[in-house]
Amino acid sequence: MSSASSPVYDFPGGIYPPENKSKSLRGPIRTTALPPQLWVAVTQPGFAMPLLCVQAGEHVDKGQLLARGSDSAGLLVHAPAAGLISSITEHAIPNASNLPELCVVIDTDAADSNWHKLLPLDWRDAAPDLLVERIAAAGICGLGGGGFPTHQKLHAALQQVDTVILNAAECEPFITADEALLREHAADVVTGCLILLQITGANQCLIGIEDNKPAAIAALRQHCTDGRLRVVIIPARYPSGAERQLIQTLTGKEIPSGSLPVHSGILCHNAGTARAIARAVVYGEQLLSRITTLTGAALLEPGNVEVLIGTPVDFLLQQAGVDQQQLSRLFCGGPLMGIELPHAQLPVTKTTNCIIATTQRELPRPPPMQACIRCGLCADVCPVQLLPQQLYWFARSSELEKAEAYHLHDCIECGACAYVCPSHIPLVQYYRSAKADIRDAHARQQRADHAKQRFEVHQQRVALEHAQESRRRTERAALAQPALPAAGNNTSAQDVVAAALARIQAKKAAQASAPTVGKDEPA
């Protein structure tokens, strides 16, 4: 409960970018009007194609299941509002590739019908399995940005962890969704933490929050009455909210490379996820909306909004009063780890925590990249203590083995190195591309090994078939052979030759007589 007693550890590197957070924290969380159309993405990155539970032309109620994963690992998707499914089609959603994904398009009803909620649960008496099942049924995934299905993460953590960490650090500039959430819904977040403790059987929950959020800290402290919860205030520094860095800050433990926090007995969840868990268990609400920050100098009314999943970004921007003349670029997520959106005709997904509509002046386009001057600033700020400069050379020259040996896969893509780079090299993009190339190379090797195995088995089979065929042939030949020797077993070789000669003689004689007959005939 007290924060003074809990120690705070340090992690290496980090940067102090301008926060730009106050603009979106002026008012309370707003609720947006019901958009005329919702585009609900049903595919889940990294998972197999989901199974659709509805078809085009069907009317759905609020909270009705739209799609489920093809196995229990997948994420459930519910209708955020009642309406008619006008189509199920591929639609662009906010992702780095700009490739379209399968979306259910709902024309919403003007009058919102009632919400088909699940039955409320008394979580204090509920078994962990039942609670995890409920979280799966509510379609909850990590709302911090990862989007990994929460029930999957919890399955792995059952009886494995002793510490639950609630990530309320929110270190990236511009984003204030978690801070606004904690100011107004701290009770729900705390309930979510207690449910997580109940599920995992952990004995403590550390709530990590940066010291630049006093109002949120006060609200949290007010509701943290359970002795197992501790609010830990950490110094504001980017990227303190990255999972591994937050764990290091709160516990002093460094999660080993290639291992997950669960293996070290730690489970980390985002504040928004904790609230969604509380709403799902206590009120039976599916995850149909989330809190998203709308900010940027091109918006007249920046702020945090409770927005239905699938709401088009342009609808949100209009609600927040966008100045189309000033708008230069759109970001989804923060300016450091987020992605630039090509246009605003994209829906909000479960992981959209922030939309930034910037002007040319607020976030100017990075100047053209120049040569690396080997200043080493990137190595100073890397929170994982990698050697960004070396990795850059290796990525650039496609020396993938060396990049792997220099632990490229431990890079969390926080962008601190690119932020400090005086030559404006888009380092993270180099790392992302090299990581993907390494993954591709592994996949290629696997494919080659598989093909080799199949080829060898194929060759064995062909050789076996050949052997069988030749054996059958010899057997057939052996069966046909006895007819000749049967004439006389003790006929000597000389007799055979004599017989053959006699046959030839007879044939010649026949040929000699034939031409004379032939000559006569035509006449």
Which among 150-158, 165-173, 231-239, 428-436 is the span making contact with another protein, rule CB under 8 A?
428-436
Q: At what angle do helices 177-200 and 128-137 cross, to 10 degrees?
A: 140
Separation between Cα atoms, residue 200 and residue 161, nearest integer Å: 6
CB 180 within 8 A of CB 304: yes
Please give the radius of gyration of the chain, using alpha carbons only, rounded to the nearest integer.
Answer: 36
In sequence order, what are the residues at sequence separation of 6 or more whose Cβ sits closer than 8 angstroms to the Cβ of residue 364? none
Q: How far is the CB of 433 from another protein (least distance, A)?
A: 4
Structure tokens at 387: 């050697």
Q: How far is the CB of 285 from another protein (least distance, A)?
A: 30
Say how far residue 413 (Cα) sits from the centre of its chain: 14
Q: Does 466 bind another protein (CB under 8 A)?
A: no
> Beta-carbon neighbour count of residue 255 at 10 Å?
20
To the nearest whole angstrom, how small is the minimum distance from the Cβ of residue 432 to another protein? 4
Does position 441 bind another protein by CB under 8 A? Answer: yes
Query: Does residue 368 belong to the site contacting another protein (CB under 8 A)?
Result: yes
3-state secondary structure of 89: strand
**DSSP of 397-443:** TT-HHHHHHTTGGG-----HHHHH-TT---HHHHHHHHHHHHHHHHH
Candidates 374, 442, 458, 472: give the one binding another protein (CB under 8 A): 458
Q: Which of 452, 466, 507, 508 binds another protein (CB under 8 A)?
A: 452
- Closer residue to another protein in complex, CB, 9/455: 455
Of 142-150, 221-229, 310-318, 452-460, the segment contacting another protein by CB under 8 A is 452-460
Residue 409 interacting with another protein (CB under 8 A): no
Q: Does 479 bind another protein (CB under 8 A)?
A: no
**Candidate segments 200-208, 246-254, 436-444, 495-503, binder of another protein by CB under 8 A:** 436-444
Q: Closer to another protein at the Cβ: 368 or 482?
A: 368
Read off the tokens for 168: 């309320």
According to the binding rule CB under 8 A, does residue 433 interact with another protein?
A: yes
Whichever of 420 and 425 has its CB closer to another protein, that residue is 425
Residues 426, 369: contact at Cβ < 8 Å? yes
Residue 359 touches another protein, criterion: CB under 8 A: yes
Q: CA separation (Å) from 264 to 157, 192, 303?
A: 10, 22, 38
Residue number with CB closer to another protein (111 or 371)? 371
> Which of 10, 112, 226, 440 touches another protein by CB under 8 A?
440
Among 184, 149, 177, 156, smallest CA distance to 75 is for 149
Classify 516 as helix, strand or coil. helix
Residues that contact another protein, how many (by CB under 8 A): 42
Q: Is 218 in the site for another protein (CB under 8 A)?
A: no
CB of 97 to another protein, least distance (A): 4
Window of 30-38, 365-373, 374-382, 512-520 that interacts with another protein by CB under 8 A: 365-373
360 near another protein (CB under 8 A): yes
With b for 16 or more beta-carbon neighbours within 10 A and e for fewer, the 45-74 pattern comes to eebeebebbbeeeeebebbbbbbbbeeeeb
**Which member of 263, 442, 447, 476 binds another protein (CB under 8 A)?**
447
266 or 395: whose CB is closer to another protein?
Answer: 395
Q: Considering the rule CB under 8 A, would residue 402 count as an interface residue with another protein?
A: no
Q: Which is nearer to another protein, 457 or 463 (CB)?
A: 457
Q: Name which position in 454, 466, 472, 473 contacts another protein (CB under 8 A).
A: 454
Dmax (CA) of the chain: 133
d(Cα 252, Cα 229) in Å, to the nearest integer?
18
Judged by CB under 8 A, the residue of 365, 482, 488, 518 near another protein is 365
Q: Which of 42, 75, 101, 179 binds another protein (CB under 8 A)?
A: 101
Distance CA 451, CA 486 (A): 53
Q: How far apart are CA 377 and CA 420, in angstroms?
A: 7
**Residue 395 makes contact with another protein by CB under 8 A:** yes
Tokens in use for 392?
């850059």
DSSP symbols for 332-381: ES-TTT-EEES-S--B--TT--EEEEEETTTSPPPPPP-------HHHHH
Per CB under 8 A, 432 contacts another protein: yes
Taking residue 86's Cβ as centre, other Cβ atoms within 10 Å add up to: 13
Choose one: 78-86, 174-182, 272-280, 363-371; the region binding another protein (CB under 8 A). Answer: 363-371
- Nearest distance from residue 257's CB to another protein, in Å? 21
Which stretch in 19-27, 272-280, 354-362, 497-505 sits in contact with another protein by CB under 8 A? 354-362
Minimum distance, C-beta of residue 363 to another protein, in the bound complex (Å): 11
Q: Which residues, including other chains, have CB under 8 Å from residue 242's CB and lie 6 or more apart? A: 171, 383, 412, 414
426 binds another protein (CB under 8 A): yes
* Residue 396 in the binding site for another protein (CB under 8 A): yes
Applying CB under 8 A, which of residues 369, 380, 407, 409 lies at the interface with another protein?
A: 369
Q: Is 158 an interacting residue with respect to another protein (CB under 8 A)?
A: no
The SS3 call for residue 7 is coil
**What part of residues 32-51 is at the interface with another protein (CB under 8 A)?**
43, 45-46
Interacting residue ranges for another protein, rule: CB under 8 A: 43, 45-46, 95-97, 99, 101, 359-361, 364-365, 367-369, 395-396, 425-426, 429-430, 432-433, 435-437, 439-441, 444, 447-452, 454-455, 457-458, 461
